[in-house]
């Protein structure tokens, strides 16, 4: 189905820099609408539910970190103190928990046509230094993987957005109760997404 919902988390450093309103405006101008919103400081329980992939997920993070260090001319052993992907993943997870619970976040559920893909496109590459010009991460950060590795912190990449429709459903259920997600209609939806026949014209004069 074209109409979708997706989760967005505006991360603590972005909140602290005062960019919540600007980022929401970018999504709204694209035709997306907010159907749920919550201002919160993430707890360990909430983060446990968000990062629920187990050891294989941790190994995946470890492998990505190793690859990123190699691309940046760094030895992962020097940066992380180990070359074991699982141990690296555990260390990165600990850093993520510290980062995401360091201050308030704004959690949003956005709805719209192809919302998951559209939000990911607007958000940009997960490493801000690699993000495409005009995307949120490119506009609001220059953080890079090598800097994050050296300082012992995840790349501060401004925002989280669900990566797939299935992931979005899981994440929305985790962060919001059903009663917190509001069904409503924006006044411009009929203009942007009319149910009528696009090929119809009223008369030969184009009126």
> In sequence order, what are the residues at sequence separation of 6 or more whose Cβ sits closer than 8 angstroms to the Cβ of residue 101?
12, 41, 42, 43, 44, 47
| Nearest Cα residue to 103 out of 205, 207, 14 | 14
**Which of 150, 143, 176, 139 is closest to 37 using CA atoms?**
176
Active site residues: 160
Query: Does residue 143 contact residue 11 with C-beta atoms inside 8 Å?
Result: no
Q: Where are the alpha helices (DSSP H) in the chain?
A: 12-16, 20-29, 44-50, 54-71, 76-80, 85-100, 115-123, 136-140, 145-151, 165-175, 189-192
Tokens of 202: 């009223």
């Amino acid at each position: 189905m074209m109409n979708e919902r997706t989760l967005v988390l505006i991360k603590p450093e972005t909140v602290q820099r005062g960019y919540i309103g600007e980022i929401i405006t970018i999504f709204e101008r694209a035709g997306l609408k907010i159907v749920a919103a919550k201002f919160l400081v993430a707890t360990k329980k909430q983060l446990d539910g968000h990062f629920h992939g187990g050891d294989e997920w941790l190994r995946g993070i470890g492998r990505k970190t190793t690859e990123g260090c190699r691309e940046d001319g760094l030895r992962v052993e020097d940066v992380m103190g180990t070359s074991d992907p699982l141990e690296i993943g555990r260390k990165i997870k600990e850093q993520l928990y510290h980062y995401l619970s360091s201050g308030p976040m704004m959690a949003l559920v956005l709805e719209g046509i192809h919302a998951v893909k559209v939000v990911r496109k607007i958000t940009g590459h997960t490493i801000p230094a690699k993000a495409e010009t005009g995307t949120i991460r490119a506009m609001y950060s220059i953080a890079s993987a090598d800097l994050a590795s050296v300082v012992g912190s995840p790349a501060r990449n401004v925002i989280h957005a669900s990566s797939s429709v299935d992931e979005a459903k899981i994440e929305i259920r985790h962060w919001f109760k059903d009663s917190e997600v509001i069904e409503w209609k924006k006044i411009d939806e009929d203009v942007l997404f009319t149910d009528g026949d696009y090929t119809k014209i009223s008369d030969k004069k184009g009126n």
